[in-house]
Structure 1
Amino acid sequence: MKKIKEYNIGFKGLKNGLHTFKYTVNKDFFALFESALYENGNSEVTVNLNKSEQMLILDFDINGTIESVCDHCLEEVNMPINCQSKLYVNFGEEYDEPSEEIIILPHAEHEINVARFIYDVIATSLPIKHVHGLDQNGKSTCNPEMVNKLSEYLVDQEPGADDSEEETDPRWNELKKLLDKNK
């Protein structure tokens, strides 16, 4: 099992310029995080670190798949992921995150751990809806037995609602007239 320290990038000893680091996102990676939304995947991560005197610029490039649960049939689905993100690292007196793309490290720091940033990029780049794709005939590849079983429990109306319109209290109509006059 991987340890979180394997995602440390020591930048103090690096020369100014571009440096490339490669990581693999799989079950071991997601096990590093408590309450992770995802538990497995197979993705390659390339982090290009551009070091200068004043700052670091980290470019993340993530390609592969992440395992999730289908929203329709509740079975495992591999969600494709292909995303890029950028992180700017400045130096200051104390650690701060003024925005999602900028962090400030204390001047005494000599390394940065990129595991949490990789996880965040993955989690925010996946679509909200996780569903199986369509086959060549345009039909869903979801498990049809499970979809049928789940549709048996679908509720068409809110509890307590019936087909007839409820009559409104006539006092509300009078109040609505007053509101209309004030417009």
Structure 2
Amino acid sequence: MAAEKKLKEYGIAFKGLKDGEHLFKYRLKDAFFELFEQPQVETGDLLATVTLLKSSRMLEFRFCIEGEVGTVCDRCLSDVNVPIDYEGTLYVNFGDEYAEPTEEIVIIPHEEHTFNIASYLYEFIVVSVPIRHIHPDNEDGTPGCDPEMLERLEEYMVHDDIPVSEEEDADDDEPVDPRWDELKKLINKNNK
């Protein structure tokens, strides 16, 4: 019930507005993301500037969303803030019933007088999250990730570029197929 009341804050009553340009600003913080079930983004601090161009035939919403959201670092699994910078347009036309023929066009019934943009704001933020999110490097060029976690990861890393030493080969009791020796020569030659 409280979530529904909060969501109404993002409803734009366009029927009472004159034709022309109207500006709306929203500060989107953690409470905004809590309004959505199973959120893909749970924390953030963003400014959404929404410009409505109203005409008798349609509504045009221009969105500009800037700020950052919290997520988990892909490298060290600790929290990291990633920047969001989104600009896009949503066209709202009037028809007999609600429909979304494309991602940029929404049709609402003629009798509607309010258009709620909350779900669109959320969707635009989610699609703006970079595919890969990691801590930026420090000024000295070292990773900005949790150093303890990086050490632990290094312990479990498999390094393909470590050459097999001849001493390890000598310790094996099984005879080595001579064809492998020729392949090792080729590998060693390419690594030089």
Whole-angstrom CA distance in 1 between matches of 2:155 and 2:73 = 18
- Which residue identity is paired with 2:25? K
Poorly superposed stretches of 4+, deviation over 2 Å: 150-157
Identity %: 49
Structure 1 residue 5: Cα displacement: 0.6
Residue aligning to 2:163: none
Q: Does 1:103 align with 2:110?
A: no
Q: Does 1:6 align with 2:16?
A: no
Q: Does 1:63 align with 2:63?
A: no
Whole-angstrom CA distance in 2 between matches of 1:155 and 1:100 = 43
Q: Does 1:36 align with 2:39?
A: yes
Of 14, 19, 35, 1:16 maps to 19
TM-score (normalizing by structure 1): 0.81
Q: 1:156 to 1:116 in 2, by over 3 A?
A: farther
Deviations 1:54-77 (A, max 9, x none): 100000111111111100011111
Q: Which moved more, 1:133-142 or 1:48-57?
A: 133-142
Asked which structure has the greater CA Rg, the reply is: 2
Deviations 1:56-100 (A, max 9, x none): 000011111111110001111111112111100001011000111
Of 106, 112, 120, 1:117 maps to 120
SS in 2 for 1:6: helix
Q: Which moved more, 1:144-153 or 1:71-80?
A: 144-153
- Which residue identity is paired with 1:58? F
Structure 1 residue 148: Cα displacement: 2.3
Runs of 5+ consecutive residues of structure 2 not aligned to the other structure:
161-192
Write the mapping of 1:1-183 to structure 2, written as runs, cut at 5 A: 3-154=6-157
Aligned-pair Cα RMSD in Å: 1.6
